[in-house]
Structure 1
Amino acid sequence: MKNGEAGHQAPQEELATGERSTRNRVARSILDHGPSTVADLAKRLGLTQAAVRRHLDALVSDDVVAPHEQRVYGTRTRGRPAKVFALTDCGRDAFEQSYDKLAVDALRWIERAAGGGAAGEAAVADFARARIEAQADAYRKAVDAADPEHRTEALAKALSADGYAATARDAPVGEQLCQHHCPVAHAAERYPQLCEAETELFSRLLGTHVQRLATIAHGDGVCTTFIPKVGRGPSGSGRAGSHRTSSSHISKTSDTSASASKAGRNPA
């Protein structure tokens, strides 16, 4: 280290944990303690005020926190009150929520209320179909408005608008619909009926048999659905054969095909 550089180095703790980790600690401290000044945060986290300001600038830019004028109760002292930093709605959403547990608890209640066993599984499946059907209108309009060769791409764009970060890409003798995010992944891990209802909907919208090759809920990085190009249409006579051929081709190019088990199985 050159002479004079020591005073310009970030605190050792930041070097050890990394910028992102320290930034998360700043946001977490605000969550735990409420709106805080730079001095409050520096004291709690053992950082310099300059370091805290740097992280707060980044958090403000990311809409995680927002500055506010500090409320003063009683006699106001001379000078401007210090700014306090509070979490935005976006910032709060970044921290853990209990929505996943709530969803699983609700599905478990439905399963038990129906009597458990096969009846309980059927009740959850009915709920899953009703849920996906309630949001299907936008998907259906997008697919119907697209040319036949662009329907998978149109469906991907409609799914992305709902937060699924979906893309469409060419695959041997067909296409792959890839969903890079799943809002219900944790619930679907316990209740694959959610994945199955979604797969059924894709099949109806696209007018062909589709195959779910992988799901985030089953531990894969992406939810992947194969859509064959050959024999499209509800009554395509070549549909089943083309499906078998496409599956063998896909398995050679994607490790995710080995994950097409219960969590991502195609019920059609």
Structure 2
Amino acid sequence: MKLGAQVDSGGTDRTRDTVARIILERGPQNAATLADRLGLSAAAIRRHLDALVADGLLVESEPRPAAQRGRGRPARVYAITDAGRAAFPHAYDDLATTALRYLRETGGEQAVVAFADHRAESLARLLTGDVDPAADPLTRTEALAESLTAHGYAATTEQASAGVQVCQHHCPVAHVAAEFPELCEAETRAFERVLGTYVQRLATIAHGDGVCTTHVPVPPVDRTNTTSGRA
């Protein structure tokens, strides 16, 4: 669920957005407090809380000892998760873009290229450990996609003419790369280093495409030897 919308008690998603935002801004809250603040029934607020927990945006936990007063079992509280915080709009992209603009103004285009290469080199080091250089090209490419997914790029592979395509369905720096394509170019070179072969970037999310697509040439597998020896 995308968070950060304006408050609208008439929409389920917007109400859940409001619940999550209150917890983000005020810290862990119990169901009774939230229900009273939003004018909802206990049953209604629990449905929203359960949905947010199921989505991984909130976590239910015991209250801190200092918050326990009176007799009886203290009410459990709901806290925002890292995924919940990330779902809200933030200024990280603006900060990164501003920093790169300053770098370009003070150090020139070469400074931006150097930064992009540095970032790509760091990514390559992360990916290299998951890709066996002795494996065949197709296996290396599939391992690259799996490693990219593990690092937040949601990557898959698809068979294509004369090779295979690595499809990245998420790009953490898409908004920044829209102004600084050097990031995409350096990332492509990093893939080449990890795979040990030439690759071609066909599309990028930063340029308005739905998916970042990289073509990896993979020679056709000759299965003659594997089948000729069978009885």
Fold agreement, TM-score > 0.5:
yes
Asked if 1:227 is matched to 2:216, the reply is yes
Secondary structure (helix, strand or coil) at the match of 2:214 reads strand
Structural mapping, 1:1-268, within 5 Å: 16-18=10-12, 20-65=13-58, 66-69=60-63, 76-114=69-107, 120-141=108-129, 142-229=131-218
Separation in 2, partners of 1:44, 1:225: 50
Q: C-alpha distance in 2, partners of 1:73/1:204? A: 54
Deviation of the 1:95 alpha carbon: 2.0
Instruction: Determine if contact 2:124/2:191 at 8 Å carries over to the other structure.
Output: no
Superposed CA offset, 1:46-88 (max 9, x none): 32111101221232344422233266679x4444443332223
Structure 2: gaps (5+ residues): 1-7, 221-231
The answer as to whether partners of 2:137 and 2:218 remain within 8 angstroms in 1 is no
Alignment RMSD (CA, Å): 2.6
- Contact 2:155-2:169 within 8 A present in 1 as well: yes
Higher RCO by CA contacts (8 Å cutoff, separation 6 or greater): 2
Aligned residues: 211
Task: After TM superposition, give the deviation of residue 30 of structure 1 in Å.
Answer: 1.5
User: What SS is found at the alignment partner of 2:62?
Assistant: strand
Q: Percent identity?
A: 55
Unpaired segments of 5 or more residues in structure 1?
Answer: 1-12, 115-119, 232-268
1 or 2, which has the higher helix percentage?
1
Give a deviation string over 1:218-258, Cα, whole Å, max 9, x none.
Answer: 12111001123359xxxxxxxxxxxxxxxxxxxxxxxxxxx
Larger CA Rg, structure 1 vs 2: 1
Partner AA of 1:96 in structure 2: P
Q: Which moved more, 1:127-136 or 1:31-40?
A: 31-40
| TM-score (norm. length: structure 1) | 0.69
